[in-house]
Copies of this chain bind each other. A is one copy, B any other.
Amino acid sequence: MPEKNILIAGLGLIGGSLARTIKSGHPDYHVAAYNRSQAPRYFAIQERIVDEVSDDFDALAVKADVIILNFPVQLSIQFLKTLATLPLKDNVLISDSGSTKLEIVTAAEEIFKGKAIRFIGGHPMAGSHKSGVIASDELLFENAYYILTTSALSQPADFEELKGVLVNTRAKFIELTAKEHDAMTAVTSHFPHVVAASLVDNAHDFAAIMPFTENLAAGGFRDMTRIAESSPDMWTEILMSNPDNIVYQIDQFSQKLADVKQLMLQRQSAEIWDFFDNARKLRAQMPIHKGAMENFYDLFISVPDKSDVIHEVLGYFAGHDLSIINIKINETRVEINGVLQITFKTENDQATAKRLILENSSYDVYQ
Binding site for B on A (CB under 8 A): 125, 127-132, 134-135, 145, 174, 176, 180, 183-185, 187-189, 192-206, 209-210, 212-230, 232-233, 235-236, 239-240, 243, 246-247, 249-254, 256-258, 260-261, 264-265, 267, 269, 272-273, 275-280, 282-284, 286-288, 292-294, 307-308, 310-311, 314-315, 317-318, 321-336
Contact = CB atoms under 8 A, between A and B. Distances in A.
B233 A220 contact: no
A232 B331 contact: no
Contacts of A335: 134
Nearest to A207: B187
Contact of A216 (B184, B225, B280): B184
A314 B310 contact: yes
Nearest to A201: B279
Contacts of A276: 193, 197, 228, 230, 232, 235-236
Given A232-B276, A256-B201, A282-B200, A221 B206 contact: no
Interface centre among A183, A276, A317, A318 (most CB of B within 10 A): A276
Contact of A288 (B129, B218, B279): B218
Contacts of A206: 183-184, 187, 249, 252
Given A184-B210, A267-B243, A288-B217, A334 B135 contact: yes
Contact of A194 (B185, B197, B257): B257
Contacts of A293: 215-216, 218-219
A187 B213 contact: yes
A334 B131 contact: yes
A217 B251 CA distance: 20
